[in-house]
Amino acid sequence: MKPISIGLLGLGTVGSGVIKIIENHQDKLIHQVGCPIVVKKVLVKELGKARAVSIDPAILTTNVEEVINNPEIDVIIEVMGGVEQTKEHLLQAIRNKKHIVTANKDLMAVYGGELLTAASDNGCDVFYEASVAGGIPIIRSLVDGLSSDRIKKLMGIVNGTTNYILTKMTEEGLAYEDVLKEAQELGYAEANPASDVEGLDAARKMVILATLGFSMKVDLADVKTTGITMVNEEDLHYAKQLGYTMKLLGIAHRDGDDKVEVSVQPTLLPKAHPLASVSNEYNAVYVYGEAVGETMFYGPGAGSLPTATSIVSDLVAVVKNMRLGINGSYAVAPQHEKNLKDPEEIYSKYFLRIHAKDEVGVFSEITSVFTQYGVSFEKILQLPVKEKGLAEIVVVTHKASLKNYEEILMQLRDLNAIKEIKSSYRVEGSANA
Ligand SMILES: NC(=O)C1=CN([C@@H]2O[C@H](COP(=O)(O)OP(=O)(O)OC[C@H]3O[C@@H](n4cnc5c(N)ncnc54)[C@H](OP(=O)(O)O)[C@@H]3O)[C@@H](O)[C@H]2O)C=CC1
Ligand SMILES: N[C@@H](CC=O)C(=O)O
Ligand code: NA
């Protein structure tokens, strides 16, 4: 059978992994799809750059037209990143009846719907398994494996870089900047690592997961996002002392009325929680379905070969669809209109660390603010701090609505007795709550 020809956009960390897997697993791939897979053209920025794989210089190009308009190419694998320009290139490729496999969550979180519609109109596939949780087949699990269930909750450690940083800071006491540098060297971080550490990368992935899991179009602007840049050693120390592990957690929750909340923030998880033991660059997505109950998908979330595994598996799916003549029929448009929860409908426990005057009556002043909103404490710690006359107060609340909690914080800031609110984090407990 005629070989399948690939145009590869990008030959960095992930692109090199794609070349390795296509070369090293060629026998398995031929067995799966019934023909060889050949890489015809590879788009790069710099032709002369040293590469992690040996590649015929004749197939390298800096001209994207040679790939997307190339009549010999069947499938475009996009692993170069970028949003606006990249979207235009992929739309052009789709108009040329080329199937797309991409690892680009920045693109899919914003223009996924547009690309999938264009692809379906042109009888083409767009697969994007690598865009969320690199090597974990989570998109396929939501679209196929759990398609008959009503998903109520998705909780994900979906950014490898930040999980690597938090793990190394917690377990080895390493400094934030040093570990970030390590994560960059290991190929986990984005070209601009701000999108990792500020939570944007995880938010994009949660947009993709929530849209698929709830069959509802969720936009990036709907995701309340906080990154890990403010997390410090003290917070990690107290979290540990109180029996928690800190994770950058994406949470997507749907209630009985199909109202949803999607957020990303540093979150404290009890040590016994299944997500608490997910370390380093590993990712995990916890899915609670009404019928299936608890499921969890675990694996490497970033890195060259794990990510490339998802990409080449997507490629296999595209070629199998080509054989069956069913390309463009896989994606299903969202079933529900967007329906977001209001802050008074979002419930959670909270960890709060305060520096307050170490004087009689201060603690009762603080508790009276919480009492006013009907919020009680689950755990309390009070310790002296170096600065004379101040006490460090750490509390974990019982569940409060986001609206009430934000009002509590405002009132606490106004108290004379409170010097500073040092930190505040969401605390997740039971998985399906
Ligand atoms: N790294 C990871 O673990 C994961 C990454 N991803 C996603 O995969 C994609 C690629 O990531 P990664 O491999 O790490 O990135 P790299 O920066 O390592 O590689 C990007 C590649 O694309 C090429 N490139 C970038 N912009 C252009 C352009 N305008 N024109 C031509 N070539 C271009 C670069 O060329 P040159 O080499 O000449 O500079 C390079 O080969 C991104 O969308 C990323 O978010 C998804 C999951 C995991
Ligand atoms: N920078 C990302 C790469 C994979 O999507 C991460 O750290 O998870
Ligand atoms: Na994946």
pLDDT tens-digit readout, 265-322: 999 999 999 999 999 999 999 999 999 999 999 999 999 999 999 999 999 999 999 9
Supply the pTM of this predicted model: 0.96
What's the whole-number average pLDDT of the chain? 96
Q: Is 161 in the pocket of ligand 2 (CB under 6 A)?
A: yes
Q: Pocket of ligand 1, candidates 61, 77, 79, 105: which has the most ligand atoms within 8 Å of its Cβ, to mutate?
A: 79
∠258-126-312 over CA atoms, to 5°? 115
**Residue 433 has what pLDDT?**
42
Query: For the segment 12-34, what is each residue's pLDDT rounded down to a tens digit?
Result: 999 999 999 999 999 999 999 99
Is CATH 3.30.70.260 the classification given to domain 343-427? yes
Q: What radius of gyration, in Å, describes the C-alpha atoms of the chain?
A: 24
**What are 54's two structure tokens?**
């040996």
Q: Is 134 in the pocket of ligand 2 (CB under 6 A)?
A: yes
**What are 296's two structure tokens?**
């969890």
Q: Is the per-residue pLDDT at 431 higher than 80?
A: no
Work out the pLDDT band at 414, boundaries 50, 70, 90: very high
Name the residue among 36, 35, 56 with its Cα closest to residue 44: 56
CA of 408 to the centre of ligand 2 (A): 35
Is CATH 3.30.540.10 the classification given to domain 4-135+304-324? no
DSSP alpha helix (H) spans, 325-401: 362-372
**What are 412's two structure tokens?**
């606490």
Catalytic site includes residue 205: yes
Instruction: Identify the active-site residue in 87, 153, 205, 349.
Output: 205
Structure ipTM over 0.85, yes or no: yes
**Residue 342 has what pLDDT?**
96
**Residue 209 has what pLDDT?**
98
CA of 133 to the centre of ligand 3 (A): 4
Contacts 24+ apart (CB under 8 A), 288-291: 288/151, 288/152, 288/153, 288/154, 288/431, 288/432, 289/146, 289/149, 289/150, 289/151, 289/152, 290/149, 290/150, 290/151, 290/152, 291/148, 291/149, 291/150
Domain ranges of the chain: 4-135+304-324, 138-300, 343-427
Q: Is the per-residue pLDDT at 432 higher than 80?
A: no
Lining ligand 1 with CB less than 6 A are 10-15, 43-46, 49, 79-82, 103-104, 130, 134, 187-188, 190-191, 302-303, 307
Beta strands in 311-374 (DSSP E): 347-357
Q: Is 187 in the pocket of ligand 2 (CB under 6 A)?
A: no
CA of 309 to the centre of ligand 2 (A): 15
**Residue 1 has what pLDDT?**
86
* Low-confidence winner among 342-346, 385-389, 415-419 (lowest mean pLDDT): 385-389
Q: By alpha-carbon position, which residue is closest to atom 45 of ligand 1? A: 104
CA of 79 to the centre of ligand 2 (A): 13
* Share of residues in the chain with pLDDT > 70 (%): 99
User: Is-same-fold flag (4-135+304-324; 343-427)?
Assistant: no
Q: By alpha-carbon position, which residue is closest to atom 29 of ligand 1? A: 45
The whole-number average pLDDT for the span 59-65 is: 98
> 4: Cβ–Cβ under 8 A, 6 or more apart, which residues?
33, 35, 36, 37, 38, 74, 75, 315, 319, 322
Report in angstroms the alpha-carbon separations of 176 from 156, 168, 227, 399: 22, 9, 13, 31
> 326: Cβ–Cβ under 8 A, 6 or more apart, which residues?
none
Between strands 4-9 and 75-78, the pairing is: parallel
**Residue 426 has what pLDDT?**
98
Do 288 and 431 touch, CB atoms closer than 8 A? Answer: yes
Say which CATH architecture domain 138-300 belongs to.
2-Layer Sandwich (3.30)
CA of 97 to the centre of ligand 3 (A): 25
> 396: Cβ–Cβ under 8 A, 6 or more apart, which residues?
242, 268, 349, 350, 351, 352, 377, 378, 379, 380, 427
Q: Is 76 helix (H, G, I), strand (E, B) or coil?
A: strand
Query: For the segment 136-156, what is each residue's pLDDT rounded down to a tens digit?
Result: 999 999 999 999 999 999 999
Per-residue exposure over 260-290, b if at least 16 CB sit within 10 Å of its own CB, e if not: bbbbbbbbbbeeebebbebbbbbbbbbbbbe
